[in-house]
Each structure stands twice: as structure tokens, then as C-alpha cells.
């Protein structure tokens, strides 16, 4: 899976996902550490990467734009905060959400549940 991790997540998470045979980049590694959410979202779209963040602004930007890509995984903070725990959560659920991510989705991931909403969201809410 091709992934781009937002600045609010540890670069160690990208390393752990890469070790599990995913193609994960952290915004720090591609010169986007201080970039706007729109720039980061566009980078993910251009490179066909799923964006992983704890920032709900990305979901709002996608819904407002009517875009169908990129997919976004929102990690909820009330759960695991350590990179190792986040990696375990992601890796345990990737197979369950792969089809949604390929089609374009916003996925909210918590320690006890995963919710996926296909894109574009638009006015359907």
C-alpha cells in the first residue's frame, strides 16, 4: 500500500509500515513538514497514496471538494498514541479496508472500530 503520513504522526510509524512491506512516506521526508493541508492532500492525490493523519481537517477538505481521491485514514487519538500501537492497528485492518481505499474513502480508525465512507461525500451527508 502507498501511504503518506501527516506531520501529527511519528516518522517511526512510516518506518514500521515500510518494514511491513508498505510504501510509506512521512511528510518530513518529502519536504512538506510545514505545508498546508491542501498541499499535502494534493501530494497524496498526485502520487496515489492514502493519507494517514489524526487531523479531521482532511476529511472536511475532501467532503467539500467532492473529490474521490485520495483516500484518507483518520486515526482517532483516544486510542493508541505510540507508533508501534498505531502500526499494529493499521496492519490489522488494512485488508478489511483495502477495497474502500482503492475506490476512494475516508476511513476513521479507532482502537475498537473502523468506519469507512466512500468518496465523494459531497452533499450526501
The DSSP string of the chain is -EEEE-TTS-HHHHHHHHHTT-EEEEGGGGT-TT--HHHHHHHHHHTT-EEEES-THHHHHHHHHT---S-EEEE-TTS--SHHHHHHHHHHHHHHHHHHHHH-EEEEE-SS-EEEEESP-GGG-
pLDDT reported for residue 122: 55
Task: Provide the pairing of β-strand 50-53 with 23-26.
Answer: unpaired
Q: What pLDDT is recorded for position 80?
A: 65
Q: What is the pLDDT of residue 78?
A: 65
d(CA 53, CA 41): 11
Per-residue tens of pLDDT for the chain, all 125 residues: 999 999 999 999 999 999 999 999 999 999 999 999 999 999 999 999 999 999 989 988 988 888 999 999 999 876 668 999 999 999 999 999 999 999 999 999 998 899 999 999 754 44
Query: Is the entire prediction scored with pTM above 0.85?
Result: yes
Which pLDDT value is given to residue 79?
61
Amino acid at each position: 500500500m502507498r501511504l503518506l503520513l501527516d506531520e501529527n504522526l511519528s516518522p517511526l510509524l512510516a518506518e514500521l509500515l515500510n518494514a511491513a512491506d508498505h510504501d510509506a512516506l512521512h511528510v518530513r521526508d518529502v519536504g512538506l513538514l510545514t505545508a498546508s493541508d491542501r498541499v499535502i492532500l494534493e501530494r497524496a492525490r498526485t502520487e496515489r497514496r492514502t493519507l494517514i493523519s489524526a487531523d479531521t481537517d482532511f476529511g472536511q477538505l475532501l467532503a467539500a471538494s467532492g473529490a474521490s481521491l485520495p483516500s484518507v485514514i483518520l486515526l482517532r487519538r483516544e486510542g493508541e498514541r505510540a507508533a508501534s500501537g498505531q502500526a499494529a492497528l493499521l496492519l490489522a485492518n488494512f485488508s478489511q479496508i483495502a477495497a474502500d481505499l482503492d475506490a476512494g474513502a475516508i476511513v476513521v480508525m479507532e482502537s475498537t472500530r473502523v468506519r469507512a465512507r466512500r468518496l465523494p461525500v459531497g452533499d450526501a451527508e
